[in-house]
């Protein structure tokens, strides 16, 4: 029996291979096409992004105005002509350097001016004044007993308080500061030589008494000491007699010195202050106190608290007539008190606020010695609290 031959799988697979190869080629073509399309799309997006960036850059350049355009033009010019651009750049560099230097100098000058202005302002001292928080109130000022008062800050020349400071009034034994100055101005004055009290030294105006009897003999130094410290009238009278030309020449010298100190309303009739015709003002007395402070003997003698004096026939003890000084209630470099009925109680002081700052205080016309003393204490408290 004859059998029909069957096709084999190997023959079929062999026939399928060419078809599979064609399909692979077609697939590769399709993939390449897709990849090319993808690259095209990516390139297009990149181009759009660059265009957007460029566009925004152009807008920013336009927004900067003329300066941006000038810089763009300069860049193009630099690309077109390098040597010329370099020359311009050098010129611009030099100009910029000059402008920068000028600006720096101006800035330095402005800075120096600004720095100097506060320094000058800080250098100017603040004007001193008495403060209400220190008790300097309208009510406390009403309790000042002296009729005329003048308080002067010597460092700045600033009046800190005044009441009736231009009123002319008797000054009593405050006179003795001028007596001491005129007497010490003599060129030849041996302080160890002794002076004797005579009848010419007695008070024939007020008929006051003294412990210095006629015939008492004191050294010139002791005469000055008790005249200033204890306001001894016969000592001051003896000093005025002990002057070239005698007492009239001495009184003339006192008045001349007052005029030289700028005290036009001040007048002296005697050396003791017992005359009510010895007059001045609280303001003018401040000038006399300043002048008296230049004499070392006046400073030391007026501030001494007590002194034992040899009068030739025994000894006498004197104390300071100013209780503020005697009891150490104030610190001063010069002081003097005075009283006659016509003047009331007077006191002048050159206080040292905080032991260093000089302030002159002149007080005239208190009805009582305690009133004058309390005025001095009150004013000293104002000063110590208010001033540095």
Write the pLDDT tens digit of every residue in 191-219: 999 999 999 999 999 999 999 999 999 99
Taking only the tens place, the pLDDT of each residue in 115-136 is: 544 544 455 568 999 999 999 9
8 Å CB contact between 149 and 362: yes
For the beta carbon of residue 1, count every other beta carbon within 10 angstroms: 2
Could you give the CA distance from residue 339 to residue 170 in angstroms, rounded to a whole number?
A: 9
Residue 59 has pLDDT above 80, yes or no: no
Q: Which residues are catalytic?
A: 173, 176, 231
Residue 5 confidence (pLDDT)? 47
Residue 142 has pLDDT above 50, yes or no: yes
Residues 6+ apart with CB under 8 A from 91: none
Residue 64 confidence (pLDDT)? 44
Cα 156 versus chain centre, distance:
10
8 Å CB contact between 210 and 279: no
Could you give the CA distance from residue 215 to residue 199 in angstroms, rounded to a whole number?
A: 9
Which of these, 386, 387, 388, lies nearest to 134 by C-alpha position?
A: 386
Average pLDDT over residues 66-71: 43
Higher pLDDT, 1 or 111: 111
Instruction: Report percent pLDDT > 90 for the chain.
Output: 66
SS3 350: strand
What confidence category does residue 26 fall into, taking pLDDT thresholds of 50, 70 and 90? confident
Residue 61 has pLDDT above 70, yes or no: no
Residue 232 confidence (pLDDT)? 98
Residue 37 confidence (pLDDT)? 74
Range of weakest confidence among 59-73, 204-218, 234-248: 59-73
Q: Which of 22-26, 41-45, 336-340 has the highest mean pLDDT?
A: 336-340
Question: Mean pLDDT for the chain?
Answer: 82
Residue 28 confidence (pLDDT)? 75
Residues 6+ apart with CB under 8 A from 102: none
What confidence category does residue 322 fall into, taking pLDDT thresholds of 50, 70 and 90? very high
């Amino acid at each position: 029996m004859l059998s029909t031959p069957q096709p084999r799988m190997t023959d079929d697979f062999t026939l399928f291979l060419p078809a599979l190869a064609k399909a692979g080629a077609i697939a590769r073509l399709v993939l390449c096409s897709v990849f090319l399309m993808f690259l095209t799309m990516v390139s297009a997006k990149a181009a759009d992004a660059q265009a957007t960036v460029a566009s925004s850059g152009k807008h920013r350049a336009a927004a900067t105005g003329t300066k941006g355009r000038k810089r763009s033009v300069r860049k193009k010019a630099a690309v077109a002509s390098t040597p010329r651009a370099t020359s311009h750049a050098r010129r611009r560099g030099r100009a910029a350097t000059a402008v920068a230097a000028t600006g720096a100098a101006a800035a330095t000058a402005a800075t120096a001016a600004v720095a100097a202005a506060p320094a000058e302002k800080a250098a100017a001292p603040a004007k001193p004044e008495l403060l209400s928080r220190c008790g300097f109130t309208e009510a406390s000022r009403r309790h000042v007993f002296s009729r005329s008062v003048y308080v002067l800050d010597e460092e700045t020349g600033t009046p800190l308080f005044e009441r009736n400071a231009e009123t002319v009034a008797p000054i009593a034994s405050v006179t003795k500061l001028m007596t001491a100055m005129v007497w010490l101005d003599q060129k030849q004055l041996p302080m160890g030589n002794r002076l004797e009290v005579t009848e010419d030294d007695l008070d024939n105006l007020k008929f006051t008494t003294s412990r210095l009897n006629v015939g008492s003999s004191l050294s010139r130094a002791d005469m000055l000491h008790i005249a200033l410290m204890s306001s001894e009238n016969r000592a001051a009278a003896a000093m005025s007699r002990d002057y070239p030309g005698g007492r009239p020449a001495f009184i003339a010298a006192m008045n001349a010195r007052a005029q030289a100190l700028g005290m036009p309303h001040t007048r002296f009739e005697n050396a003791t202050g017992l005359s009510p015709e010895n007059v001045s003002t609280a303001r003018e007395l401040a000038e006399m106190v300043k002048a008296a402070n230049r004499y070392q003997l006046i400073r030391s003698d007026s501030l001494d608290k007590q002194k034992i004096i040899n009068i030739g026939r025994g000894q006498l003890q004197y104390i300071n007539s100013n209780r503020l000084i005697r009891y150490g209630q104030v610190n001063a470099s010069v002081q003097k008190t005075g009283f006659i009925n016509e003047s009331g109680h007077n006191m002048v002081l050159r206080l040292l606020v905080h032991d260093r700052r000089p302030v002159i205080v002149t007080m005239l016309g208190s009805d009582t010695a305690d009133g004058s003393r309390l005025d001095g204490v009150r004013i000293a408290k104002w000063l110590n609290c208010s001033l540095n």
